[in-house]
Amino acid sequence: MTDITTTPVDRARASELGPFARFLKATELDVRMLGMLAALAIIWVGLHFLSGGLFLTPRNLWNLSVQSASVAIMATGMVLVIVTRNIDLSVGSILGFSGMVMGVMQAQWLPQYLGIPLGSHWLWIIALCSGLIVGTAIGALQGYVIAYMGVPAFIVTLGGLLIWRGGAWWLTSGQTVAPMDETYRLMGGGPEGSIGATWSWIVAVIACLGVIWLLRSARTQRKRFHFPLRPVWAEVFLGAVACLVILGAVLVANSYGWPIGIVRRYAQENGITLPEGGLFIAHGIAIPVLMAVAVGIVMTFLTRRTRFGRYVFAIGGNPEAAALAGIATRWVTMKIFMLMGLLAAIGAAISSARLNASTNALGTLDELLVIAAAVIGGTSLAGGAGTVLGAMLGALLMQSLQSGMVLLGIDTPLQNIIVGFVLVLAVWLDTMYRKRV
Amino acid sequence: MVPLAPTTEVPLVEMRDISIAFGGIRAVDDASIDLYPGEVVALLGHNGAGKSTLIKILSGAYKRDSGAILVNGAEVAINSPRDAKQYGIETIYQTLALADNVDAAANLFLGRELMTSWGTLDDVAMEAEARKVMGRLNPRFQRFKDPVARLSGGQRQSVAIARAILFNARILIMDEPTAALGPQETAQVGELVKQLKSEGIGIFLISHDIHDVFDLADRVCVMKNGQVVGTAKTTDVTQDEVLGMIILGKCPPGAIPGPGAMKAAA
């Protein structure tokens, strides 16, 4: 029905906008996201000065990126879980269990029972796949109980937290499994688990071209239907900022060289004589970080461009309305938990590869970090709102705080106190912000 | 006033002897109702009389325990909202049933999204369609980017109505369509009902407002305690008689009595 009041109000508001608000309107940027980026910048600069210039170094930033990867990957799935007003407390335990499955497979079962020789490629391929399948199956089981049997997600996943942690212990009677397959270990980062300077630049250029292509195709689409367009300067600005961020990140990754010992060994193995002043071999982007970025892109695509994603948000906004619109809400819920299980298994691959071992403590308390990352990243516990990018930034923010405090030499108990405090503070700020909008 | 001769034509939709019980309470008990093309049938009754439940069975939200639903004379299986929509039955719920956190276009196409040839959501095409249909209903509406939670009551109502008529509904169910609206918006809904009626769409109208009903409806059907008290052309009964049906279950001479009519009028 015609609403006489709102349209003139909108118009009046548009003419009263200040320069910053006009900028936001033109670029269609999210204020929340900008706020988070600002918080991240403040934390980074603050830690940099407090630590006497140790934080914003290529070495620390590179390590930060690798440390954030696993939690960031899981946080993208937690967004969907929380958006549909559910919770998953079992992700840390699923990580532990599927990590243990991958470890035991490649270190014991496959070589012993199937006679696959150590060093064979099948080892890591089969181990990885079975871990991913196990994670997805656990998610499917829990999702089924939640969606079709009607047990609250909190309870099901609380049970899962105990069950899968115990299962991880039970698989090897508590023994740690090591070492991991050499190829498998690449997923953990480190000098070998990075793609080097040249490939990093290639990835960066492809990413920049991708950004430009996305902006262009969105614009031509809108033109085709004669929709209002963003001003050209705003498009150019967005594209330029995105490209600069990509190139900057790669520049940082490429400025972090291999440690001297590893360079020396590498030179010996390849018959290179070390030049005077040492040889600089850049890490480039770490493989776990590439995996996290890939997961982020796929998950963003899933939430924004597919039916599944649309239904997830519709269910979160109004479950009854979604059901009345003919959406199979239970099946969607089950799929969300399957996806969460799969992502936890990917996290398990990265964590166990990085540790070069599977322990039954792998991923302990990760569920809390993952939930905190999603919530700090703007996922509303009331359901219906949240973004994949926000959750990944949330994971980065949490990890920045933690590794920053390690750099500062703060005691572990105090670290936990601060992290807990920041979580509550972030959600409080978000609540205040939402009330005002 | 009623241009049709219902007896000679096949009803658009017919619900026969429908019953449903929730935990021993018979919310709808042996109710029968029909609707012809271009006709508006008003369902009246107190809260809890069973009218919303009956209509939710037609829209697929509830599964009936017994009874049959016929569309154009042929029996159909309606077990979910999706089934109902396949037969051109669209519903505007009292609660509007909008997904509050997505925009108008996403709501219009919820469950029936337009896809690109790549199998992804075609948001641009959906927005284009949304602009077309909203332009017809509410030409001033511009907030296509906002989640519907941010819209005013009237705007939300127009989104819900747009969703119902977007897919060429043949049978439209309107559950208290004007409950949340001001007088001007209510008048507009009335205009819309008349327009849709002239296009041959059959409309079930659930309402508390007996004046509305006499303005818009061709027939009324009154329910009480889950049973149909009676059905009558609005030209054959007075407003007081209809009130008597609602309150006492007393069927006047101008109406065809149903199973719920008060027995042996004293």
| pLDDT per position as a tens digit, B79-94 | 999 999 999 999 998 8
> Is A4 a domain residue?
no
Check whether residue A42 and residue A127 sit in a common domain: yes
Shortest alpha-carbon distance between residue B169 and chain A (Å): 14
Q: H or E segment at B203? A: strand B202-206
Residue A312 sits in the same domain as residue A281 = no
- State the residue for tokens 């972030």: A426
Q: Are residues A317 and A410 in the same domain?
A: yes
Residue A6 maps to a domain: no
CATH number at residue A291: 1.10.3470
Structural tokens at position B91: 């519903």
Contacts of B121 in chain A (CB under 8 A): 304-307, 310
Is A8 part of any domain?
no
Contact B185 A227 (CB under 8 A): no
- Do residues A222 and A298 share a domain? no
Position A333 pLDDT exceeds 60 = yes
How far is C-alpha B92 from the geometric centre of its chain's CA atoms? 6
Q: Which of A237, A268, A285 is the last residue of a domain?
A: A285
- pLDDT above 60 for B266: no
Q: Which residue has the higher pLDDT, B177 or A137?
A: A137
Asked which of A251, A285, A319 is the last residue of a domain, the reply is A285
Choose from A155-159, A262-266, B53-57 the range with maximum mean pLDDT.
A155-159
Q: Across the interface, do B152 and A306 touch by the CB < 8 Å criterion? A: no
Weakest-pLDDT range from A17-21, A37-41, A199-203, A258-262: A17-21
Q: Do residues A272 and A296 both lie within one domain?
A: no
Whether the CA torsion A233, A238, A243, A249 is positive or negative: it is positive
State the ipTM, two decimals. Answer: 0.85
Residue-number span of the structural domain to which A236 is assigned: 195-285
Chain A touched by B115 (CB under 8 Å): yes
Contact (Cβ atoms closer than 8 angstroms) between residue B148 and residue B156: yes
Question: Does residue A1 fall inside a structural domain?
Answer: no
Considering the domain architecture, whether residues A257 and A321 belong to the same structural domain is answered as no
Going by pLDDT thresholds of 50, 70 and 90, the confidence category of residue A15 is low
**Which of B63, B124, B129 is best to mutate for the A interface (most A CBs within 10 A)?**
B124
A240 and A298 part of one domain? no
Would you tell me the crossing angle of helices A58-83 and A287-305 to the nearest 10 degrees?
Answer: 30
What separation in angstroms does the CA of A329 have from each of A76, A231, B105, B121, B165? 20, 39, 20, 19, 24
Q: What class has domain B6-257?
A: alpha beta
* The predicted structure's pLDDT at residue B174: 92
Interface touch A310/B102, C-beta < 8 Å: yes
pLDDT at A323: 92
CB-based contact A310 B121, cutoff 8 Å: yes
* Percentage, residues of chain A above pLDDT 70: 96
Q: How many CB atoms lie within 10 A of CB A208?
A: 19
Nearest one of A35, A46, A44 to A64, comparing CA atoms:
A44
> Which of A224, A252, A285 is where one domain is finished?
A285
Q: A14-18, A290-294, A390-394 — which is least confidently predicted?
A: A14-18
Residue of chain A whose Cα is closest to the Cα of B128: A225
In this prediction, residue B7 carries a pLDDT of: 53
Statement: residue A11 has pLDDT above 50? no
Cβ pair B144, B131 in contact under 8 A: yes
User: Are A371 and A273 contained in the same domain?
Assistant: no
Do the beta carbons of residue A187 and residue A371 sit within 8 Å?
no
Per the structure, how many domains does chain A have? 2
Q: Taking the domains of chain B in order of start, what are their residue ranges?
A: 6-257
pLDDT-based confidence at B2, cuts 50/70/90? very low
Tell me the pLDDT band of B187, cut-offs 50, 70 and 90.
Answer: confident
Chain B segment 19-38 residues within 8 A of A by beta carbon are none
Residues 6 or more apart in contact with residue A130 via CB below 8 angstroms: A101, A102, A105
Q: Has residue B48 got a pLDDT over 90?
A: no
In a domain, A11, yes or no: no
Residue A314: list chain B partners with CB under 8 A. Answer: 99, 101-102, 106, 110
- Residue A412's contacts (CB-CB under 8 Å, 6 or more residues apart) are none
Domain-embedded: residue A16: no
Least confident of A196-205, A320-329, B161-170, B253-262: B253-262
Interface of B with A in 40-59 (CB under 8 A): 59
A268 and A220 within one domain: yes
Contact state of B101 with A306 under an 8 Å Cβ cutoff: no
Residues A76 and A180 in one domain: yes
Q: Is there a single domain that holds both residue A89 and residue A179?
A: yes
- Shared domain for A331 and A233, answered yes or no, is no
